[in-house]
Amino acid sequence: MLFPADFMTRLEYLSLMSRRVFRGQLLAQRRTRETGAGIEFADHREYAAGDDLRYLDWNIYARHGDLLIRRFQEEQDLHVYLLLDCSRSMSFENGSKFDLARQVAAALAYIALADLDCTALFAFSAGITARLPLTRGREQILPIMRFLESLTACGSSTGLTQGVAEFLHLRPRPGLVIMISDLFDPGGIEQPFDLLRFRGFDVHAIQIFHELEARPQLVGDAQLVDLESGSETRITVTEQQLADYHQLFTAHQTAVRNYCRRYGLGCTQSPASSSFDALVMTMMNSSAGDQADSRSIPLPRFPSNSQRT
Amino acid sequence: MIFGTPTALLLGLIALPVTLLYLLRVRTRRIPVSTDMFWNRVFEERPPRSLWKQFRHLKSWLLQILLLLTLTLAAADPRWNTPADRSGFQVIILDASASMQAEEESGTRFEIARAKAERLVAGLFPGQQLAVLSADRETQILSGFTDHGPALQRVLAAATVTDSPADLHQAVQLASALLQSHSDGRILLFTDSLTAANEQALQEACQNPASAPQSAVNLDVVRCGTSHPNLGLTAFEVRRAITDPLGYEVLLELTNAADIPVTATVQLTLNDVLVDVLSLSLAPDESSSRILRKLSADGGILRAQLTDIDFRPDVKSTFPLQDALQADNEVFAVLAEQPPLKVLLASPGNLFLRQALLAMPRVELHEISSLPQSQEAWAGHDVIVLHQLVPRELPPGNLLVVDPLTDCEFWKLSGLVRQPLIVEQQSGSPLMTNVDLTNVLIPQAGRLQFLQKAQNLILTDTAESLLSLIQQPQHRCVVTPLSLSDSDLPMRTVFPLLISNALQWFSGADALRTAAAVTGSSATRPFPADWSESIDRVTIRSPSGAETTAIVSAGTAISEPAITTGLLRERGVWSIIPHTAARPRGQPADSTPLQIAANLTNQSECDLRFPVESESGTAFLESQPNSRNMPLWLLAVCLATLLLGAEWWLYQRRLIM
């Protein structure tokens, strides 16, 4: 059962824990990075034709003769977008990865809804396959859970770039994008995450992997069948090649962490054997240590660069 | 390198299907993976391959092929031998003579020879056949041609050394005869010493076209042992003294077969009672003979033993060399007993004859002055001396008749011979030993006309016999017509000599001089007179106690009953124990056992020095596998085991598939 009977109890507990951790920083009271009609100065930018002259900084112009527009940080509700990977790779080993991904998505959605934020869910593989529009209110958790239960990991290949591109094509308002995936995209993660960053989204990556993906128990002659592409490869695996595989896998994990650290993105890597609440608690506990960060990241403030392996 | 089983190399063809199996694509497991991008990067340096590149398990294939090759090599039984050593038929001759008992550092020479022969057997090729001969005085075939190594090893283990001298020429001839029908025969003679001349003679015996007309037999002499000094008894005889029936004479000869002087002591015992002790010093290569005269009426076992042998007596700083051979340090002889001789003298009275008989040792004289009325009165006497009194029917037994006055069944008196002149005397007869009647004054003598066949020992110019010998089944009769009163014969020294010769001949003195047998030969002894005629078989007991049974052959018209032993290969005193058909074998016999002494009295066996230090044949043996050296096939098996272990370890470590 994807959502057991005590699932709601555990979600409520996580919600309370998130309030204790982030006391006074409730959702909907957080500022977004969106500049607009706020009253708190954010920064300057070059004047362009058509800008409202009311925001022209005349003092700068008087002193230096430069035309700069003052920008203000706008206070508005945080939009949390949960992007869930539904490719076939998530069905590896009876779909344990996909189950954990859906449970984590439900937990994060509940926490967001409990903090009066808007939450939307997008299922993607090579593109958006299903979506749940923005919704608000704690009572919306049940439709979200039903939506998650209806999802299957039967999409095509993992296409992070295509999924993100279609997500952005919907012109969502900037907010927090939580991508839950195994990130096994041959095209890499840089391009889709760059797209999100460039469009002003805060990104948090949750990478879920299976233990057999990290350390496959595979020695000897074998015929590998790619779950996504269906391609078959005859190989003879030795201990040395197993070590090479593990080295490549570790390098991939490290590359994900390094990318997120480099651009201030949140990153959580967890094996599929973990429980969703332990994963979320770990994310919150580790993010509490980053309270002193100067980054203005909207709530929910998920831990960054936390890894549970 | 050659192979004992070359056909086993065909097992190497298994490498072809093994290689083919490695090349063939096998049905593999289908394993789903979430993505193959990591695997593709792992194998990106080894893209899909050609046929040759299907060898993904190259290490495993190499190990398997190497394992197969080592097992094939082991099955082929590789040897280091050269092709010249692969004679199909070989004959091993083990010198089992007494000199092979000489002690070396690693055992006796015979043990060394046997160890070398066992090495030869251990290197036996399949199909190569060996025969084993044991050479002493008579060559024995211990094993015919066979290629069964364990059987040959058992034969060699059971081979024993003897106390007899060797006749290697006979052994080589027998081996050549065995190899006569084989073209590539080889004889391996394991011996201790062989002179160059003898070796050349043996080589010629091998190449003798008469013995092996269509084959070329090679002879390899493998010498076993090193040179040693040795002192040995090379002659030992005993006999009763001719002049003194109670005495006996011992002939003793020692030979110093060494290049250095030696001192030793000889102890002579009779029935384990010390008789004499001699201290002798011999120069290098010196042989010394001694004749000892002793007195004893008792018979028994006479033994001479060498003790306190000390080589290099003049060099005290060096450790004295040891006498290497014990077989020639002890010799035996059987001294016959001298029983009393019962003599009955029937004479009207002659003091000379009576005193001459009384002067003879062992003689128990009984006298009668007239002829007895019954024949029973003659019984119970060994010799009957008739002087002038001659019955018409002579009593059976040994008779010495002097000056007969009446006729009898053997002769008839026909007058007298006046002034006989002796012209011929049979000096070769034992009755004529030291007897010469030429100067004896004989005025007249009776003329005897013999009715039975008689041997004339002394003839006159008129062909009259003055001493005759008549031998009939019931009688042995010596008769002389010389008158003791008319001639001066009683006054001459020849008279007691003549009486003594007659008595010794009657008492069988020849048997008392029976020589000791030489080991390795058989011995023939006349059927003892005191043995019952019902004895039909005898038990021959060796000095070590081994017993064999022999059948007694009856005498024929031209030969007397005799007992002939087999080959006496053991030195010491052999016993021939009589048995009758009615008496079980285990019960003691009434008759006295006959004893025969056998000695190693051989100078060539005594000499333990090597005349020529030649090593022919030994190089061949060096290439033979030793029981202490591991054969090549076993090495190959060990290597295969190591490879199997390595393959297992590599597989467990997933270094190979």
Q: Using only the alpha carbons of chain A, give its radius of gyration.
A: 21
DSSP single-letter state for residue B378: G
Whether residues A289 and A255 fall in one domain: yes
Domain-embedded: residue A25 = no
> Nearest CA to A300 among A109, A101, A168, A135?
A109
What pLDDT does residue A304 have? 38
The reply to whether A228 falls in a domain is: yes
Residue B349 and residue B388: Cα distance in Å, rounded?
Answer: 10
| Number of residues in chain B | 657
Q: How far apart are CA A296 and CA B471, in angstroms?
A: 158
Task: Give the per-residue pLDDT at B277.
Answer: 93
A116 and A257 fall within a common domain: yes
CA proximity to B562, closest of B583, B538, B544, B588: B538
Helix (H, G, I), strand (E, B) or coil at A161: helix
Quick one: pLDDT at residue A33?
Answer: 52
- The C-alpha atoms of residue B657 and residue B64 are separated, in whole angstroms, by 12
Least confident of A112-126, B34-48, B431-445: B34-48
Q: Give me B611's structure tokens.
A: 């005349």
Is B36 close to A184, i.e. CB distance below 8 A?
Answer: no
pLDDT greater at residue B36 or residue A301 = B36
Burial class, A202, CB count within 10 angstroms (exposed 0-12 / middle 13-18 / buried 19+): buried
Task: Provide the Cα torsion A57, A58, A64, A70; round to 10°.
Answer: 0
* Two structure tokens written together for B302: 């006479």
| B7: DSSP letter | G
What range defines the domain where residue A137 resides? 80-307
Which amino acid would we find at residue B55?
F
Whether A195 and A54 map to the same domain: the answer is no
Residue A24's pLDDT is 36
Residues in CB range of B105: below 8 A, 6 or more apart: none
Residue A4 lies in a domain: no
Distance CA B184, CA B218 (A): 8
Closest to A222 (Cα-Cα) out of A238, A245, A203: A238
Q: What is the pLDDT of residue B125?
A: 72
Distance CA B219, CA B215 (A): 13
Q: Please, what sign has the CA dihedral across residues B100, B104, B107, B112?
A: negative
Q: Do A238 and B28 touch (CB under 8 A)?
A: no
Q: Using one digit for the tens of pLDDT, what is the confidence trace for A238-268? A: 788 888 899 999 999 999 999 988 988 888 8
Of B21 and A57, the one with more pLDDT: A57
Nearest partner of B236 among B604, B608, B598, judged by Cα: B598
Residues A8 and A16: their CA atoms lie apart, in Å, by 12
Say yes or no: A61 and A84 in one domain: no
Beta strands in B347-396 (DSSP E): 363-368, 383-387
A45 and A157 in a single domain? The answer is no
Under an 8 A CB cutoff, do B34 and A223 touch?
no
Phi and psi (nearest 5°) for B205?
Answer: -65, -35
Q: If you average pLDDT over every residue of chain B, what do you get?
A: 82
More confident residue, B282 or B621: B282
DSSP letters, B460-481, are: ETTS-EEEEEEE-SSEEEEEE-
ipTM above 0.90, yes or no: no
More confident residue, B225 or A18: B225
Is it the case that residue A34 has pLDDT exceeding 60?
no
Structure tokens of B270? 């009779």
What's the confidence (pLDDT) of residue B579?
A: 78
In this model, does residue A303 exceed pLDDT 70? Answer: no
Judge whether residue A57 has pLDDT over 60: yes
Given this model, what pLDDT does residue B507 score? Answer: 77
B40/A92 touch (CB, cutoff 8 Å), yes or no: no
Q: What is the pLDDT of residue A293?
A: 36
State which of A20, A43, A75 marks the end of a domain.
Answer: A75
pLDDT of residue B583: 55
Give me the pLDDT at residue A300, please.
36
Query: Rounded to an integer, what distance in angstroms lies between the CA atom of residue A82 and that of residue A90?
Result: 16
Q: Which residues of A lie inside 8 Å of B (Cβ-Cβ)? A: 88-90, 92, 97, 158, 182, 184, 186, 210, 213, 216, 218-229, 231-236, 238-242, 244-245, 248-249, 252
DSSP-assigned letter for residue B6:
G
How many CB pairs (< 8 A) connect A and B? 88
CA B239 centroid distance within chain: 23
* Residue A238 and residue A95 share a domain: yes
pLDDT of residue B633: 84
Neighbours of B455 (CB within 10 A): 15
Q: Is B83's pLDDT higher than 60? A: no
What's residue A302's pLDDT?
37
Q: What is the CATH number of the domain that holds A229?
A: 3.40.50.410
> In this structure, what are the phi and psi dihedrals at residue A298, rounded to the nearest 5 degrees?
-65, 155
Check whether B652 has a pLDDT greater than 80. Answer: no
The pLDDT of residue A256 is 92
* B28–A221 C-beta distance less than 8 A: yes
* Co-location of A144 and A275 in the same domain: yes
pTM value is 0.52
Answer whether A219 sits within 8 Å of B25, measured CB to CB: no
* Cβ-based burial of B104 (10 A; exposed 0-12, middle 13-18, buried ≥19): middle
CB A264 within 8 A of CB A295: yes
Residue A71 shares a structural domain with residue A93 = no
Instruction: Pick the closest to residue B394 from B358, B432, B344 (CA basis).
Output: B344
- In angstroms, the separation between the Cα of residue B39 and the nearest Cα of chain A is 7
Of A56, A75, A94, the residue at which a domain comes to its end is A75
At residue A235, the 3 state secondary structure works out as: strand
Q: Are the beta carbons of B29 and A239 separated by less than 8 Å?
A: no
Show residues of chain B in contact with A90, CB under 8 Å. Answer: 34
Provide CB contacts within 8 A for B562, sequence distance 6+: B524, B525, B526, B527, B553, B555
- In this prediction, residue A37 carries a pLDDT of 59
Q: How far apart are CA B156 and CA B146, in angstroms?
A: 13
Q: Residue A219's closest chain B neighbor by CA?
A: B654
Tell me the HSE value of A128 on the side-chain side, using a 13 A CA sphere.
17
Over range B274-301, report the average pLDDT. Answer: 88
Query: Which DSSP state fits B553?
Result: B
Mean pLDDT of B589-596: 75
List the single residue in B with minimal CA-CA distance to A227.
B34
What percent of chain B has pLDDT above 90? 20
The average pLDDT across A199-211 equals: 90
A234 and A249, same domain (yes or no): yes
Are residue A256 and residue A141 in the same domain, yes or no? yes
The answer to the question of residue A141 being in a domain is yes
pLDDT of residue A3: 83
Q: How much of chain B, in percent, has pLDDT values that exceed 70?
A: 84
The reply to whether A45 falls in a domain is yes
For residue A29, what are the contacts with CB-CB under 8 A and spacing of at least 6? none
Specify whether the CB–CB gap between B341 and B358 falls below 8 A: no
Q: Residues of B with CB below 8 A from A92's CB? A: 32-34
CA distance B113 to B225: 9
Q: How is B385-446 classified by DSSP, letter by letter?
A: EEES---SSPPSEEEEEES--S--SSEEEEEEEES--EEEE-TTSGGGTT---TT---SEEE
How many domains does one find in chain A?
Answer: 2
Alpha-carbon gap, residue B492 to B485, rounded angstroms: 13
In B312-340 the beta strands, taken as DSSP E runs, fall at 330-335
Nearest to A153 by CA among A123, A116, A191: A123
Domain boundary among A46, A75, A104: A75
The predicted model gives B136-159 an average pLDDT of 89
Distance separating alpha carbons of residues B269 and B276, to the nearest angstrom: 7
The distance of A75 to chain B (nearest Cα, Å) reads: 42
Contact B592, B578 (CB under 8 A): no
A91 vs A106: CA distance, rounded Å = 18
Please determine, for residue A141, whether its predicted confidence score (pLDDT) is greater than 80. Answer: yes
Which residues neighbour B6 within 8 Å (Cβ) at sequence distance 6 or greater? B76
Mutation target to probe the A interface, by most A beta carbons within 10 A, among B25, B33, B55 is B33
**What distance in Å separates the CA atoms of residue B497 and residue B440, rounded to the nearest whole number?**
14
The SS3 assignment for A34 reads strand
**Cα–Cα distance, B614 to B616 (Å, whole number):** 6
Task: Tally the C-alpha atoms within 13 A of residue A144's C-alpha that lie toward its C-beta.
Answer: 30
Taking Cα atoms as reference points, which of B319, B210, B313 lies closest to residue B263?
Answer: B313
Q: Do A245 and B42 lie within an 8 Å CB cutoff? A: yes
When mean pLDDT is compared across A8-12, A65-69, A162-166, A292-296, the lowest value belongs to A292-296
Average confidence (pLDDT) over A148-177: 88
- For residue range B569-582, list pLDDT tens digits in order: 899 999 888 877 65
Domain co-membership, A141 together with A284: yes
Q: Is residue A249 part of a domain?
A: yes
The verdict on a CB contact (< 8 Å) between A223 and B29 is yes
Whether B481 and B403 have beta carbons less than 8 Å apart is answered as yes
**Does any domain span residue A50?**
yes
Which stretch of A135-139, A234-238, B343-347, B408-412 has the lowest confidence by average pLDDT? A234-238
Determine contact: B34 vs chain A, CB below 8 A.
yes
Sheet holding B262-270, edge to edge: B273-282, B262-270, B300-311, B330-335
Residue B296: pLDDT band with limits 50, 70, 90: confident
A299: pLDDT strictly greater than 70: no
- CA distance linking residue A98 with residue A273, whole number of Å: 11
Of the listed ranges A108-122, B331-345, B482-496, B619-633, the least confidently predicted one is B619-633
Cβ contact B34–A242 (<8 Å): no
Supply the Cα-derived Rg of chain B in whole angstroms: 40
Q: At A68, is the secondary structure helix, strand, or coil? A: strand
pLDDT at A85: 93
Whether chain A has a CB inside 8 Å of the CB on B37: the answer is yes
Do A40 and A84 fall into the same domain?
no
Query: Is residue B465's pLDDT more than 60?
Result: yes
Helix axes B15-23, B58-75, angle to 10 degrees: 170
Alpha helix (H) residue ranges in B86-195: 109-122, 149-158, 168-178
Residue A2 placed within a domain: no
Cross-chain CB nearest to A239 (options B32, B33, B655): B655
Taken in order of first residue, the domains within chain B and their CATH numbers are 2-75 (no CATH), 83-227+608-623 (3.40.50.410), 230-335 (2.60.40.10), 341-506 (3.40.50.880), 514-553+561-601 (2.60.40)
